[in-house]
């Protein structure tokens, strides 16, 4: 029996999602086609979400298609591949054309029918040839409906608004179905992780599944709990808090029978790999599940629950962990998804509490989450300059902690501090393992210090709300990496855990990470606290040391002997950036704890040369600076040469500075270069000098992270969340957002990842008219297909310097014009709002860490420079490496914190005319930003 395709007019586009069965058929179909048309390389599929374009006009004759052929084979996938051998197609077309006709707008459009009756449209465009299956809408839909699988929620999957995909993945792994689940306590950023995993899975040509309700979903199984999802399912998820696929703490999964059911249900659903986003407990469970897998499937085979074929196919459980937990308690990774969002909530609450505490001169005991881990309490302690913290990792006897706390607080009070903040981790204990509650702390503060004291338990507020930019980006990059890891895994590959070390996404062996984490808890329970601390990562230990030094600064015997005490100057240069104050505060208080004298140069180099604005800092003046935005000591863009470098040398000499710490952006970088070059003429500059990069542009050579860039990202992200909501509610609006950042597209690219912007334009790429045309096409597609699911707002982020001609206004006008009344575009200029109000906790805590490292650098380089100062000008070895290295930029590079000499950076690693580093460390983020929204890049 045959069926005729109905005659259609015009162009119609449909998006559909295939089931796994359809998908496999499609692969076979395309493999046959590619062998037919492109004999060198088997073509690759983009994924199972498809755009089907019908290009039909009056001259297209209906075709006969045998109904008993597998119609579903042509339902799936749109693919585009480059081909130089156009002639080959033409020849082929000549042989097999059912109907071929040239077209005014497209040079050649050919419809082919293969011997089995499959029809395919081939469109030749300038650089690419696309092959798209053609089929009438009704048939496609009925075919999908008839193939409805009990495991697939077609109702939500079959209507999609997705765009097609920008690039062809190198390999197609048609075998893989990858499932993701969230487990344990929910954490902000989990949704962004799931979105990235689902979309990357689809992008790589695999099937994406989600397991609902954590391990509960595995134990229960079935289509309600193990669902196939599509590109559109996860739209906008990076901007949503909690976890949309549910999470649970499953008792049943802790027992073998529960895990046996889990194994059966995964196999039934055809899942090859499981990515678990959860905390230490969830990953312990995952690790156990994986190690038990061979015995589980053996039992399933023996009890007849699975077939021999299933047993053979599912020999190994491919598992990967992305760590999602607000506790940040997993060893081997610096941060877990959600931890910085929770920290943000805590810091905001404590910032609020400060105001009321100050009004009444009160003490507050703030209880924060963290069952076995004091990370949240410690970092909040640093970020809010709390007076004291109690964490499980460093317990003391009841007497010791009470004495120490009272001693520090009474000293703070005696010097005029009106507020007292003590942060207690939920899991805080004394060294006999007795829990320390906030009530215990309250009692001590009232009984021993007679303070007017209140308790605030922050509770689940800490887990609520949307994720901060860091968590959205971390979750997204880790999600992409998790899918890569799963696809690259073989039976022998140890299960990976996707970690982050400093600024680098890394893969760590899951088993060892879990064991290491467990050993911290074991050490605590066996009261081996030294071991517990040694097992924590070195950054944690460093932060704890920093907190202790800062919070007891100026009240204890200095750590260093008198003869080694230094005078250290600090100056802010360039535009204000979040974290500048934290750096100044921490540098000054840490200096006090060491015995050094900290000096602030107020209002940049010109403040020094015009008004001799330089003063030593005292402890009380600094109260509250840690949490403040902007620059308390003032900043401007003038460089030493512009301000008068000779006069600066004079003041350096007058005050006898032994070192200088510059905090700022590119002008600060140039300042360091000028001071270092001026050493030849001015002895006063023969001192160690260090730059802590601080600029929202994040364009300072020698580092992948500048203070202020995280605060700016959050400000921009919050702004974008607000206007995206407005755009979505308006049902059909694009906002073109003007983004700062000089010639660096860092901010635009990373904000685009955080908010899921459809496009980001950056100075590094500019805006070509072809790309703009393509992006407008994508937008149209996206809006057209949004029908039925509500129209979503779209964002385009444009770095100001991406184009001077194509301003946000012009872009908005062009887009509105092209939309032909279907939607409109407006521009939005956040401007200096991007500098942020209060610094983010990341900028505060990193400001502290970097400032203390900088002081350490000044101390460590003293000897070399002391000698250099005694040498006659003529003998001064300006270019000797040990001298050159005493003027350096403190940066984060990959997984390390490094000092790189300004000579090296300025002379070899900087594109001076554009004020950017020669190597862009975030380049790979661009492709991810694009592929996660389906942007086609020309
Ligand atoms: N040893 C284990 N064996 C099997 N399953 C486990 C094990 N530990 C935890 N799980 C599973 O993982 C789930 C989540 O663990 P848990 O409650 O410890 O949270 P988590 O993943 O550590 O996250 P968070 O601490 O952030 O809330 C448990 O409910 C259980 O189903
Ligand atoms: O939400 P629940 O199940 O009460 O769990 C609270 C626990 O979860 C966490 O938020 C994350 O593990 C802990 O800090 C806290 O102890
Ligand atoms: Mg946990």
- Residue 578: give its domain's CATH number: 3.40.50.450
- Ligand 2 contact, 281 CB (< 6 A): no
Q: Are residues 823 and 864 in the same domain?
A: no
Q: Which residues of the chain have pLDDT under 50?
A: 1-174, 788, 790
Looking at the domain assignment, is residue 901 inside a domain?
Answer: no
Nearest Cα residue to atom 2 of ligand 2: 185
Active site residue 775: no
- Ligand 1 contact, 285 CB (< 6 A): yes
CA pair distance 558, 286, nearest whole angstrom: 49
Looking at the domain assignment, is residue 583 inside a domain?
Answer: yes
- Distances 629 to 28, 661, 840 between C-alpha atoms, Å: 59, 19, 9
Confirm or deny that 533 is annotated as ligand binding: no
Query: 565-598 burial string, b = 16+ CB within 10 Å, else e?
Result: ebbbbbbbbbbbbbbbbbbbbbbbbbbbbbbbbb
Ligand 3 centroid to residue 424 C-alpha, Å: 18
Looking at the domain assignment, is residue 191 inside a domain?
Answer: yes
Q: What is the DSSP letter of 680?
A: G
Confirm or deny that 369 is annotated as ligand binding: yes
Q: Are residues 268 and 364 in the same domain?
A: no
* Three state DSSP letters for 291-329: HHHHHHHHHHHHCCCCCHHHHHHCCCCEEEEEEECCCCC
Nearest Cα residue to atom 31 of ligand 1: 250
Ligand 1 centroid to residue 254 C-alpha, Å: 8
Ligand 2 centroid to residue 436 C-alpha, Å: 17
Confirm or deny that 679 is annotated as ligand binding: no
Confirm or deny that 461 is annotated as ligand binding: yes
Ligand 1 centroid to residue 521 C-alpha, Å: 14
Q: Are residues 418 and 441 in the same domain?
A: yes
Residue whose CB lies within 8 A of the most ligand 2 atoms, among 185, 247, 325, for a mutation test: 185
Query: 733-745 burial string, b = 16+ CB within 10 Å, else e?
Result: bbbbbbbbbbbbb
Q: For residues 11 and 55, is the Cβ–Cβ distance under 8 A?
A: yes
Pairing of strands 659-664, 567-573: parallel
- As given in the structure block, the two tokens for residue 496 are 């990976």
Q: Are residues 685 and 816 in the same domain?
A: no
- Domain range enclosing 758: 711-835+926-931
Nearest Cα residue to atom 28 of ligand 1: 249
Ligand lying nearest the CA atom of residue 255: 1
CA pair distance 802, 160, nearest whole angstrom: 32
Q: Are residues 317 and 344 in the same domain?
A: no
- Distances 49 to 283, 512, 821 between C-alpha atoms, Å: 30, 37, 28
Q: Are residues 183 and 147 in the same domain?
A: no
Domain boundary among 462, 482, 506: 462
Confirm or deny that 250 is annotated as ligand binding: yes
Please enumerate, as own/partner, the contacts of 649-655 that have beta carbons within 8 Å and a separation of 24 or more. Answer: 649/678, 649/681, 649/682, 649/684, 649/685, 650/684, 651/608, 651/609, 651/612, 651/614, 652/569, 652/682, 652/684, 652/685, 652/687, 653/683, 653/684, 655/567, 655/569, 655/599, 655/614
Q: Are residues 642 and 586 in the same domain?
A: yes
- Residue 7: give its domain's CATH number: 3.10.180.10
| Closest among 41, 177, 69, 85 to 133, alpha carbons compared | 69
- Ligand 1 contact, 327 CB (< 6 A): yes
- Distances 209 to 76, 226, 681, 886 between C-alpha atoms, Å: 18, 7, 67, 54
- Residue 396: give its domain's CATH number: 3.40.50.460
- As given in the structure block, the two tokens for residue 8 are 């259609």
| Closest among 623, 920, 613 to 763, alpha carbons compared | 920
- Ligand 2 contact, 326 CB (< 6 A): yes
pLDDT for 873: 76
Q: Are residues 327 and 183 in the same domain?
A: yes
What's the burial of 288, exposed, middle or buried (CB within 10 Å: 0-12/13-18/19+)? middle
Confirm or deny that 742 is annotated as ligand binding: yes
Query: Total structural domains in the chain?
Result: 5
pLDDT for 411: 94
- Ligand 2 contact, 717 CB (< 6 A): no
- Distances 478 to 323, 496, 628, 906 between C-alpha atoms, Å: 9, 12, 31, 33
CA pair distance 850, 471, nearest whole angstrom: 21
Nearest Cα residue to atom 11 of ligand 2: 185
CA pair distance 794, 781, nearest whole angstrom: 12
Q: Are residues 184 and 330 in the same domain?
A: yes
Per residue in 236-290, pLDDT (tens digit) is 899 999 999 999 999 999 999 999 999 999 999 999 999 999 999 999 999 999 9
Domain boundary among 445, 462, 479: 462
Ligand lying nearest the CA atom of residue 276: 1
How many CB atoms within 10 Å of residue 491?
A: 7
Residues facing 887 on adjacent strands = 689
- Ligand 1 contact, 217 CB (< 6 A): no
- Ligand 2 contact, 259 CB (< 6 A): no
What's the burial of 539, exposed, middle or buried (CB within 10 Å: 0-12/13-18/19+)? middle
CA pair distance 170, 608, nearest whole angstrom: 58
Q: For residues 9 and 58, is the Cβ–Cβ distance under 8 A?
A: yes
Confirm or deny that 847 is annotated as ligand binding: no
Report yes or no on whether pTM surpasses 0.95: no
Q: Are residues 307 and 367 in the same domain?
A: no
- Distances 708 to 298, 378, 550, 582, 754 between C-alpha atoms, Å: 55, 21, 21, 11, 17
Nearest Cα residue to atom 9 of ligand 1: 281
Tell me which H or E stretch contains 516. Answer: helix 510-525
Ligand 2 centroid to residue 715 C-alpha, Å: 28
Catalytic residue among 327, 387, 658, 710: 327
Q: Are residues 726 and 597 in the same domain?
A: no
Percent helix, strand and coil across the chain, each to the nearest 5 = 45, 20, 35
pLDDT for 908: 96
Confirm or deny that 4 is annotated as ligand binding: no
Ligand 3 centroid to residue 279 C-alpha, Å: 5
Residue whose CB lies within 8 A of the most ligand 1 atoms, among 183, 261, 282, for a mutation test: 282
Ligand 3 centroid to residue 769 C-alpha, Å: 50
pLDDT for 711: 98
- As given in the structure block, the two tokens for residue 598 are 């900290």
- Ligand 1 contact, 324 CB (< 6 A): no
- Ligand 2 contact, 592 CB (< 6 A): no
Looking at the domain assignment, is residue 527 inside a domain?
Answer: no
CA pair distance 282, 274, nearest whole angstrom: 12
Domain boundary among 432, 462, 492: 462
- Ligand 1 contact, 243 CB (< 6 A): no
User: Which atom of ligand 1 is found nearest the CA of 187?
Assistant: 26
Q: Are residues 774 and 787 in the same domain?
A: yes
- Ligand 2 contact, 371 CB (< 6 A): yes
Q: For residues 86 and 124, is the Cβ–Cβ distance under 8 A?
A: yes
| Closest among 882, 430, 903, 839 to 627, alpha carbons compared | 839
| Closest among 650, 560, 562, 576 to 614, alpha carbons compared | 650
Looking at the domain assignment, is residue 892 inside a domain?
Answer: no
Ligand 1 centroid to residue 259 C-alpha, Å: 13
Residue whose CB lies within 8 A of the most ligand 2 atoms, among 371, 374, 428, for a mutation test: 371
Q: What is the CA radius of gyration of the chain?
A: 31
pLDDT for 877: 84
Looking at the domain assignment, is residue 49 inside a domain?
Answer: yes
CA pair distance 644, 610, nearest whole angstrom: 9
- Ligand 1 contact, 185 CB (< 6 A): yes
């Amino acid at each position: 029996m045959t069926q005729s395709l109905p005659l259609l007019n015009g162009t119609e586009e449909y998006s559909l999602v295939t089931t796994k069965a359809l998908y496999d058929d499609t692969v076979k179909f395309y493999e046959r086609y590619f062998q037919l048309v492109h004999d060198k390389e088997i073509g690759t599929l983009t994924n199972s979400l498809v755009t089907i374009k019908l290009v039909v006009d009056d001259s297209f004759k209906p075709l006969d298609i045998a109904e008993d052929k597998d119609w579903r084979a042509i339902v799936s996938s749109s693919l585009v591949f480059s081909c130089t051998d156009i002639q080959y197609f033409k020849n082929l077309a000549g042989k097999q054309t059912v109907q071929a006709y040239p077209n005014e707008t497209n040079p050649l459009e050919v419809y082919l029918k293969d011997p089995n009756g499959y029809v395919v449209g081939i469109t030749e465009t300038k650089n690419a040839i696309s092959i798209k299956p053609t089929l009438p809408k009704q048939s496609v839909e009925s075919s999908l409906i008839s193939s409805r699988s009990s495991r697939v929620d077609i109702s939500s999957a079959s209507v999609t608004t997705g765009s097609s995909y920008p690039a062809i993945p190198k390999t197609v792994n048609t075998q893989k179905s990858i499932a993701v689940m969230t487990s344990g306590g929910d954490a902000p950023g989990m949704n962004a992780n799931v979105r990235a995993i689902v979309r990357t899975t689809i992008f790589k040509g695999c099937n994406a599944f989600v397991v609902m309700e954590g391990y509960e979903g595995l134990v229960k199984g079935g289509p309600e709990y193990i669902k196939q999802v599509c590109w559109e399912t996860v739209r906008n998820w990076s901007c949503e808090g909690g976890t949309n696929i549910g999470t649970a703490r499953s008792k049943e999964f802790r027992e073998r029978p529960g895990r046996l059911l889990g194994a059966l249900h995964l196999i039934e659903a055809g899942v090859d790999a499981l990515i678990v986003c959860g905390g230490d407990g969830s990953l312990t469970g995952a690790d156990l599940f994986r190690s038990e897998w061979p015995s589980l499937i053996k039992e399933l085979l023996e009890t007849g629950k699975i077939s021999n074929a299933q047993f053979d196919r599912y020999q190994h459980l491919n598992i990967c962990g992305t760590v999602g937990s607000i506790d940040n308690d997993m060893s081997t990774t610096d941060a877990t998804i959600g931890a910085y969002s929770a920290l943000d909530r805590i810091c905001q609450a404590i910032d609020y509490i400060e105001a009321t505490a100050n009004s009444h001169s009160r003490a507050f005991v703030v209880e924060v989450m963290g069952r076995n881990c004091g990370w949240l309490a410690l970092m909040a302690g640093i970020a809010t300059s709390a007076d004291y913290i109690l964490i499980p990792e460093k317990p003391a006897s009841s007497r010791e902690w009470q004495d120490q706390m009272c001693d520090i607080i009474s000293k703070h009070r005696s010097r005029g501090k009106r507020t007292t903040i003590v942060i207690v981790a939920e899991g805080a204990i004394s060294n006999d393992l007795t829990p320390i509650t906030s009530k215990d702390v309250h009692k001590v503060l009232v009984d021993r210090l007679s303070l007017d004291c209140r308790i605030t338990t922050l509770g689940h507020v800490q887990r609520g709300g949307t994720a901060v930019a860091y968590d959205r980006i971390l979750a997204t990059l880790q999600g992409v990496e998790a899918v890569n890891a799963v696809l690259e895994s073989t039976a022998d590959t140890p299960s990976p855990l996707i970690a982050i070390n400093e600024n680098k996404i890394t893969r760590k062996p899951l088993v060892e990470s879990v064991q290491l984490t467990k050993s911290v808890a074991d050490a605590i329970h066996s009261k081996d606290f030294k071991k517990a601390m040694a097992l924590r990562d070195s950054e944690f230990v460093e932060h704890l040391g920093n907190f202790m030094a800062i919070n007891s600064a100026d009240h204890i015997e200095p750590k260093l002997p008198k003869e080694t005490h230094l005078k250290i100057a600090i100056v802010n240069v360039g535009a204000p950036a979040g974290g500048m104050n934290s750096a100044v505060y921490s540098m000054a208080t840490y200096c006090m704890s060491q015995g050094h004298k900290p000096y602030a140069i107020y209002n940049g180099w010109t403040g020094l040369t015009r008004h001799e604005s330089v003063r030593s800092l005292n402890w009380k003046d600094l109260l509250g600076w840690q949490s403040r935005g902007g620059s308390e000591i003032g900043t401007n863009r003038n460089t030493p040469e512009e301000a008068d470098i000779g006069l600066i040398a004079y003041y350096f000499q007058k005050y006898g500075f032994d070192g200088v710490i510059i905090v700022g952006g590119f002008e600060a970088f140039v300042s360091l270069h000028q001071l270092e070059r001026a050493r030849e003429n001015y002895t006063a500059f023969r001192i160690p000098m260090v730059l802590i990069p601080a600029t929202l542009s994040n364009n300072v050579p020698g580092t992948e992270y500048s203070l202020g860039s995280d605060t700016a990202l959050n400000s921009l992200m919050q702004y974008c969340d607000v206007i995206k909501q407005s755009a979505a509610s308006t049902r059909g609006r694009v906002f073109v957002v003007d983004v700062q950042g000089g010639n660096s597209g860092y901010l635009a690219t990373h904000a685009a990842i955080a908010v899921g912007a459809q496009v980001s334009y950056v100075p590094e790429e500019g805006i070509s008219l072809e790309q703009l045309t393509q992006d407008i096409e994508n937008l149209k597609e996206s809006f057209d297909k949004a029908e039925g699911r509500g129209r979503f707002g779209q964002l385009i982020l444009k770095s100001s310097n991406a184009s001077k001609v194509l301003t946000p206004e012009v872009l908005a006008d062009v887009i509105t014009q092209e939309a032909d009344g279907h939607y409109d575009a407006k521009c939005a200029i956040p401007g200096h709002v991007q500098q942020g109000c209060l610094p983010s906790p990341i900028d505060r805590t990193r400001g502290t860490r970097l400032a203390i490292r900088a002081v350490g650098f000044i101390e460590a380089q003293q000897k070399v420079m002391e000698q250099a100062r005694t040498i006659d000008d003529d003998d001064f070895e300006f270019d000797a490496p040990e001298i050159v290295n005493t003027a350096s930029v403190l940066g984060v590079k990959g997984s390390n914190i490094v000092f790189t000499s300004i000579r090296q950076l300025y002379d070899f690693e900087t594109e001076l005319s554009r004020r950017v580093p020669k190597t862009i460390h975030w380049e790979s983020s661009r492709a991810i930003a694009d592929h996660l929204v389906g942007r086609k890049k020309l």
